[in-house]
């Protein structure tokens, strides 16, 4: 999913290259966090932020990452919830 940080359409080309060359699992989880929640978590975790860690950039990357997750076998999980709720949802798939 790191390819979502690349410019379009390179992100999609790079994703498909890695998806083709790297082994896949039936247990691929995409933890979908809203840009606002991601920004809050980033601010709590560290003092210095990267250039792509503002709400607008996080929104752009999320759109690209979600589109990639929807093209493959990713299980998309709403990760705006608590760790305990996210873990319970993941366990449902295992």
pLDDT for the residue numbered 42 = 92
Mean pLDDT for the chain overall: 94
With a cut of 80, say whether residue 51 has pLDDT above it: no
With a cut of 80, say whether residue 16 has pLDDT above it: yes
pLDDT for the residue numbered 48 = 84
Question: Span 34-55, mean pLDDT?
Answer: 90
pTM for the full model?
A: 0.87
Question: Span 21-43, mean pLDDT?
Answer: 94
Which residues, other chains included, contact 80 with Cβ-Cβ below 8 Å and sequence gap of 6+? 32, 33, 34, 37
């Amino acid at each position: 999913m790191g390819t979502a940080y690349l410019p379009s359409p390179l992100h999609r080309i790079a994703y498909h290259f890695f998806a083709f060359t790297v082994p896949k699992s039936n247990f691929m989880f995409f933890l979908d966090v809203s840009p606002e929640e991601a920004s809050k978590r980033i601010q709590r975790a560290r003092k210095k932020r990267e250039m792509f860690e503002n709400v607008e950039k996080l929104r752009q990357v999320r759109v690209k990452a979600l589109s990639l997750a929807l093209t493959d076998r990713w299980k998309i999980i709403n990760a705006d919830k608590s760790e305990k709720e996210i873990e319970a949802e993941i366990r449902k798939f295992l």
